[in-house]
Amino acid sequence: MLRIEMADLSDIPIIASRIYRTTRSAFYEYASDVPPPGAMTDTPRDVEEDLRTGSQALLAVLGDSGRVAGVVRWRVTKGQLHFHRLAVIPSERRKGVASALLKALITEADRQRCTSIACDVRIGVSRNVALYEKFGFAHSGERIIARGGFTVRLGVMTLPLNMDTTEFGKGE
């Protein structure tokens, strides 16, 4: 049984450490990319800083063991919920963990009356694009960022929320 929990930010070092370990485990497969993703160069302190400066997090927790199977962080800016570092540990993939986190994010965005929800995607990782397209996200642009002396092109995928999003992801 999987449950989705809002991260308790009353003890940021503890929760940041759990988020850090889960995120790092998920993104490890990209460790040899040049440049490596930000998730691989983040330190626990970076996660703490992200939470202290306004990001929130959702955890997907396995009911039997209490183990964290997945995490995602987000913040709301100018009516848009932007999420980052969506991560599921390798042993729990293809079981709907990311989908459960995305559904909870969409509910949260609706609750906060956001007009859209968006994320950056690694161009060329079709698995991730397929995941977001399943929920109705579409490519809305590109962003170029500097990382480790390299220039990285990221795609932006957006889901407008002025529609009935409750239909997305049904039946999973």
Ligand X SMILES: CC(C)(COP(=O)(O)OP(=O)(O)OC[C@H]1O[C@@H](n2cnc3c(N)ncnc32)[C@H](O)[C@@H]1OP(=O)(O)O)[C@@H](O)C(=O)NCCC(=O)NCCS
- Return residues touching ligand X (CB under 6 A): 26-27, 86-88, 93-99, 119, 121, 127-128, 130-131, 134
Question: In this complex, which beta carbon is closest to ligand X, that of residue 7 or of residue 83?
Answer: 83
Nearer to ligand X, 57 or 86 (CB): 86
**Which one, 103 or 113, has the nearer CB to ligand X?**
103
Q: Give the whole-angstrom CA distance, residue 49 versus residue 16.
A: 9
Q: What is the CA radius of gyration of the chain?
A: 15
| Residue 95 beta carbon to ligand X: minimum distance, rounded to whole angstroms | 6
We find the least distance from the C-beta atom of residue 59 to ligand X, in angstroms, to be 13
Order the strands of the 68-77 sheet from edge to edge: 2-6, 56-62, 68-77, 80-88, 116-122, 150-160, 138-147
Given the structure tokens 């970076």, which residue do they identify? 46
Select from 157, 159, 81, 161 the least CA-distant residue to 115: 161
Taking the complex as a whole, how short is the minimal distance between the CB of residue 11 and ligand X, in angstroms?
Answer: 25
Closest separation between CB of residue 171 and ligand X, Å? 9
